């Protein structure tokens, strides 16, 4: 694992172009978000297979796409409810599942019903990475399956120690403040469905859903 000080990247003290080139070449990174550290890379099958192997988990569990803005969610169907939620809570800890109507993304990104989870992260490093890349990155928590999602990167005793011998780049932003995980809402099947209540409470979500709609838990 090769460590980088993410703050130096933001301060232009380390060339961002090197990180972008590494990601575009299929490299896997550990990166901060507004909640926990994630494992990420370009949304291509060989990169996703590598991340699945690193996490030691089944490939049947889909991953998240981090996008710079709504217009970057290519091929995904925006419902009225999904648009209202994105306008209200993005950038922020709200993950929205949208229908991949063109089967634009590989099966390891889509869920069993053809939905793809997307989020616009407010973290400055994620924001600059996805904007410079010009396309989404796939992401999942940077831990071996069954372990706690990490709030920090530590080369000796931290929760990422399983990745120490791996050929990946770690963009270290220090210890992240504790946060609940993102709230996840499935808007791919008509009526919005709460998959997980997290940092954004259900009461805030319900405020934006028309009274004629129901949120199923």
Instruction: Provide the 3-class DSSP secondary structure of residue 196.
Output: strand
pLDDT value of position 7 = 92
131-188 pLDDT, tens digit each: 999 989 999 999 988 888 899 986 654 555 678 778 899 999 999 999 999 999 999 9
Per-residue pLDDT band at 125 (split at 50, 70, 90): very high
> Given a cut of 90, is residue 212 above it in pLDDT?
no
What pLDDT was estimated at residue 103?
82
Question: Does residue 42 carry a pLDDT above 80?
Answer: yes
CB atoms within 10 A of CB 60: 10
pLDDT over 90 (residue 74): no
Average pLDDT over residues 22-43: 96
pTM over 0.85: yes
Give pLDDT, residue 104. 83
pLDDT of residue 207: 84
Comparing CA positions, the residue from 215, 175, 201 lying closest to residue 88 is 201
pLDDT of residue 39: 96
Q: Specify the pLDDT at position 146.
A: 86
Structural domains of the chain, ranges and CATH numbers in brackets: 1-62+123-179 (3.90.870.10), 69-119+180-217 (3.90.870.10)
13-28 pLDDT tens trace: 888 999 999 999 999 9
Distances in Å between the Cα of 64 and the Cα atoms of 18, 40, 104, 116 are: 24, 9, 14, 7
> Left (φ > 0), alpha (ψ -120 to 50) or beta: where does 114 sit?
left
Sign of CA dihedral 19, 106, 47, 117: positive
Mean pLDDT taken over the chain: 89
Beta carbons of 176 and 151 less than 8 angstroms apart: yes
Kindly list the distances between the CA atom of residue 5 and the CA atoms of 21, 68, 152, in Å, as whole numbers in the listed order. Answer: 17, 22, 12
pLDDT of residue 75: 87
Residue 117 scores a pLDDT above 60: yes
Terminus-to-terminus CA distance in the chain, angstroms?
Answer: 39
Q: What is the mean pLDDT of the segment spanning 111-138?
A: 94
Give the span between the Cα atoms of 150 and 17, in whole angstroms.
26
Task: Indicate the SS3 state at residue 26.
Answer: coil
């Amino acid at each position: 694992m090769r460590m980088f000080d993410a703050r130096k990247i933001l301060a232009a003290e380390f060339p961002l172009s090197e990180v972008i080139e590494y990601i575009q070449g299929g490299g896997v990174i550990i990166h901060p978000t507004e909640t926990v550290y994630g494992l990420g890379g370009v949304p291509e099958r060989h990169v996703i297979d590598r991340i699945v192997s690193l996490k030691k988990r089944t490939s049947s569990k889909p991953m998240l796409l981090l996008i710079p803005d709504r217009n970057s969610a290519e091929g995904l169907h925006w419902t009225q409810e999904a648009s209202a939620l994105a306008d209200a809570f993005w950038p922020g800890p709200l993950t929205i599942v949208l229908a991949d109507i063109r089967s634009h993304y590989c099966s390891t990104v889509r869920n069993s019903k053809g939905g793809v989870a997307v989020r616009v992260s407010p973290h400055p490093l994620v924001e600059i990475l996805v904007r410079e890349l010009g396309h989404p990155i796939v992401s999942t928590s940077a831990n071996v399956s069954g372990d706690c999602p990490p709030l920090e990167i530590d080369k000796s005793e931290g929760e990422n120690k399983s990745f120490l011998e791996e050929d990946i780049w770690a963009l270290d932003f220090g210890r992240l403040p504790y946060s609940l995980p993102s709230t996840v809402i499935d808007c791919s099947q008509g009526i919005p469905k709460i998959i997980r209540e997290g940092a954004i409470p259900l009461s805030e979500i319900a405020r934006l859903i028309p009274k004629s709609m129901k949120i199923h838990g």
